[in-house]
Homo-oligomer: A and B are copies of this chain.
Amino acid sequence: MNYRLISKLLGVVALLIGTSMIFSLPWAFPQLGFRESLGNTSQPDLINEHEFEMAGSLALIASMAVCGLVSGALFWFGRKARGNMFRKEAMAVVGLSWILATVLGAMPFYFTGTYRCSGVRLLGEKAAPLIFEFGSFRLRKQWDEAELLAPDEYALLSAINDAGAVGLSPQGVSSVLPDVDAEQLIRDLVSSAPAWQSTIILPNAEPDASADRVGNYRIRWVKMGLADACFESQSGFSTTGATVLADLEDPHLIPHCILFWRSTTHFLGGLGIIVLFVTLLGSGSAGKALMRAEMPGPTKEGATPRMQETAWLFAAVYVGLNVVLAVILKLAGLSSFDALCHAFATMATGGFSTYNASVGHFAQHPNLYNSEVIEYSIILFMILAGTNFTLLYLCLIRQPGRLLGDIEWRAYMGLILFASIAVVAFGLLHQDFSDVISAIRYGLFQVVSIVTTTGFGTHDFDSWNSFGRAVLFVLMFVGGCAGSTGGGMKVIRHVLMLKILRQEIELAGHPTVVRPLRLGDTAITDPGLRKNVLVYFSLIMIIFVFSWVFLVGFEPGNAWGTTIEHKLIDCASGVAATLNNIGPGLGIVGATHQYTAFSPVSKTLFVWLMMLGRLELFSILVLFSPRFWRTI
């Protein structure tokens, strides 16, 4: 193993990440980051006039320094690098550079001390708080009867908690329970138990808080830990879009510049995948071997003979599509900040939004945004992002027939159409949607968002009928086309799988008949392909099952409150949504929720799942094989 060469290349990665952070700095100026639709809340002036984001920009600069140091150390170790890249080195570089990127990309979140969620979780009927301890719900295995709140106390805390990190003014608190001395009730609660004391903030207890909250009764929010930061970073680079952040709209919890860094990780992740896909073509693992064998691309036919040139072409297509979408979104009413962030998330099939309601936010402000244009543009660009970039490039050089004739793309479009019709029909049958127009709008958006593994939401699909949710769950495993930024298992693998299984059934009746697999007019001659597809499915299945059992066993049941039954489904959907780089799952990780309730250990598992899914397993799995490192 050529360690020095690996080190040198990892140094480049660290340098690139550090450099990319520069572009997040400008948004620390309030004039740039300001989001108009949030100005319509109850405290318009306060959000508008908030000062330069010092913490965020310092964190970014510190992170850049770390990147520089790491990069320097890696370059120094690799200064005498000799020899060529071989397959093993390539795999090691890919796997290790994603791990490195995750850690370096987590720095800005961690250094800023970004807040991820409220420090109290009030669980419906039980009326008991789950107080965060050591950054998670982990330690509360049992309900402590003594800590159960009285109904009055529960109502008060609910109201304060619902008001977010800003909290409720004394007047607001009093108006929740007009008949009792509400303020005294809270003060009694604080003095009664240490857990509450560290969680409830009384007015003016923290004089350096911002003007919109200093005089309020508030719940303390929890800062991101290292596992949270790595989760968010990996979720960005792997273009998953799963988040631990419960409130994206309060710049005191997460500054604009950090929010932009969060979206930048999507852009970098998508770019990385597109470039990797090209540069590893013909030298890669089983997953790459699949693409090599199948990809009806120009590389095979010599349209762009040199690999580096192809990589640049694809990167240009990717960046170009990002720019086009950003311009469209800007014209539809988004600020430059929002337009860029959402373009990044769309073209990388990531899914990080800058609003709590994801893309659904824009429909809530019809006076500011043309939400239909926004949603349908995003649908179109999600579909493009899930398409093989070779085919997109061929369209650009006026060979659209290659796109329309491609088996994988036809299956991909057919699946989107078929699944949308099923979801819309069942949704209407079960009255999940108010009318046909909105059913099509929300149903199509959600199906495209899941199939392309973006994970945006415009409708709470967790409130849909069971069939709709089951279909979305299964679609998570499909993913986009090979050679796109989409995650999941890729449409082509499913197409091949169905062909293989159909042949095997026939083979069982006619053991002597051996025919080659056909994809359209092309016979597939690679003998390893059949096995590779089957192995890939099996590995995904086994990783899924083991992760699921681990989560169900490791996570305490009371994170699910009174609906413990859902734990099985929620954990399964969480694994599916991270392993396939979707983002949101069902239940507590559903469209309107976050991964914040999971323990740090489980979050670390999710980090690995996202990385495994993104790099199609092998580049990560081999890192754990001692034999891989031992031999030359």
Write the residues of chain A forming the contact surface with B, with a CB cutoff of 8 angstroms. 87-88, 91, 285-286, 422, 426, 430, 465-467, 469-471, 473-474, 497, 500-501, 504-511, 530-531, 534-535, 537-539, 541-542, 545, 548-549, 552-553, 557, 563-569, 587, 618, 621-622, 625, 627-628, 631
Q: How far, in whole Å, are A299 and B466 apart by their CA atoms in the complex? A: 50
Least CB distance from A614 to B in Å reads: 16
Q: A430-B557, A474-B545, A568-B569 are in contact. Are A509 and B469 (CB under 8 A)?
A: no
A-B pairs with lowest CB-CB distance, top 3: A534-B534, A467-B553, A509-B628
Name A539's contact: one of B501, B553, B569, B622 (CB within 8 Å): B501
The answer to whether A568 and B466 have CB atoms under 8 Å apart is yes
Least CB distance from A544 to B in Å reads: 10
The answer to whether A549 and B505 have CB atoms under 8 Å apart is no
The answer to whether B565 and A618 have CB atoms under 8 Å apart is no
Name A542's contact: one of B501, B509, B566 (CB within 8 Å): B501
Least CB distance from A529 to B in Å reads: 12
Least CB distance from A509 to B in Å reads: 4
In the assembled complex, 26 residue pairs joining A and B whose CB atoms fall closer than 8 Å, in A order, are A88-B509, A285-B508, A426-B553, A466-B552, A466-B564, A466-B567, A467-B549, A470-B549, A470-B552, A497-B542, A500-B535, A504-B535, A504-B539, A506-B628, A508-B621, A509-B622, A510-B628, A534-B537, A537-B537, A537-B541, A538-B538, A541-B541, A563-B565, A565-B565, A565-B566, A568-B569
Least CB distance from A590 to B in Å reads: 11
Q: How far, in whole Å, are A508 and B566 apart by their CA atoms in the complex? A: 37
The answer to whether B510 and A631 have CB atoms under 8 Å apart is yes
The answer to whether A506 and B565 have CB atoms under 8 Å apart is no
Q: A501-B535, A534-B538, A566-B565 are in contact. Are A506 and B625 (CB under 8 A)?
A: yes
Which chain B residues lie closer than 8 Å to A91 at the CB level?
508-509
Copies in the complex: 2
**Residue of B whose beta carbon sits closest to that of A621:** B505
Which chain B residues lie closer than 8 Å to A88 at the CB level?
509-510
Q: How far, in whole Å, are A448 and B414 apart by their CA atoms in the complex? A: 45
The answer to whether B557 and A505 have CB atoms under 8 Å apart is no
Q: How far, in whole Å, are A504 and B542 apart by their CA atoms in the complex? A: 14
Q: Is the interface of A mostly helix, strand, loop or mixed?
A: helix
Name A565's contact: one of B511, B548, B569 (CB within 8 Å): B569
Q: A534-B535, A538-B534, A563-B565 are in contact. Are A625 and B505 (CB under 8 A)?
A: yes
Which chain B residues lie closer than 8 Å to A511 at the CB level?
87
Which chain B residues lie closer than 8 Å to A471 at the CB level?
549, 553
Known: A473-B568, A497-B542, A510-B627. 10 other contacts (CB 8 A): A88-B509, A469-B568, A471-B553, A501-B535, A505-B622, A508-B618, A534-B535, A534-B538, A537-B538, A538-B538
Q: How far, in whole Å, are A631 and B465 apart by their CA atoms in the complex? A: 46
Which chain B residues lie closer than 8 Å to A87 at the CB level?
511
Least CB distance from A70 to B in Å reads: 25
The answer to whether A501 and B538 have CB atoms under 8 Å apart is yes
The answer to whether B535 and A627 have CB atoms under 8 Å apart is no
Q: How far, in whole Å, are A281 and B379 apart by their CA atoms in the complex? A: 55
Which chain B residues lie closer than 8 Å to A469 at the CB level?
568
Name A622's contact: one of B500, B508, B621 (CB within 8 Å): B508
The answer to whether B538 and A497 have CB atoms under 8 Å apart is yes
Which chain B residues lie closer than 8 Å to A501 at the CB level?
535, 538-539, 542
Q: How far, in whole Å, are A445 and B548 apart by their CA atoms in the complex? A: 24
Least CB distance from A3 to B in Å reads: 15
Least CB distance from A461 to B in Å reads: 13
Q: A535-B501, A539-B501 are in contact. Are A549 and B474 (CB under 8 A)?
A: yes
The answer to whether A504 and B549 have CB atoms under 8 Å apart is no
Q: How far, in whole Å, are A565 and B631 apart by their CA atoms in the complex? A: 51
Q: A545-B474, A552-B467 are in contact. Are A625 and B566 (CB under 8 A)?
A: no
User: Which of A87, A467, A497, A557 gathers most chain B CB within 10 Å?
Assistant: A467
Q: How far, in whole Å, are A549 and B471 apart by their CA atoms in the complex? A: 7
Which chain B residues lie closer than 8 Å to A504 at the CB level?
286, 535, 539
Least CB distance from A615 to B in Å reads: 11
Least CB distance from A393 to B in Å reads: 28
Which chain B residues lie closer than 8 Å to A470 at the CB level?
548-549, 552-553, 568
Name A531's contact: one of B505, B534, B542 (CB within 8 Å): B534
Q: How far, in whole Å, are A549 and B422 apart by their CA atoms in the complex? A: 11
Which chain B residues lie closer than 8 Å to A538 at the CB level?
497, 500-501, 534, 537-538
**Residue of B whose beta carbon sits closest to that of A535:** B504
**Residue of B whose beta carbon sits closest to that of A555:** B466
The answer to whether A557 and B618 have CB atoms under 8 Å apart is no
Name A466's contact: one of B430, B500, B557, B621 (CB within 8 Å): B557
Q: How far, in whole Å, are A91 and B510 apart by their CA atoms in the complex? A: 11
Q: How far, in whole Å, are A286 and B507 apart by their CA atoms in the complex? A: 9
**Residue of B whose beta carbon sits closest to that of A541:** B541
Least CB distance from A598 to B in Å reads: 14
Which chain B residues lie closer than 8 Å to A621 at the CB level?
505, 508
**Residue of B whose beta carbon sits closest to that of A512:** B87
Which chain B residues lie closer than 8 Å to A506 at the CB level?
622, 625, 627-628
**Residue of B whose beta carbon sits closest to that of A539:** B501
**Residue of B whose beta carbon sits closest to that of A531:** B531
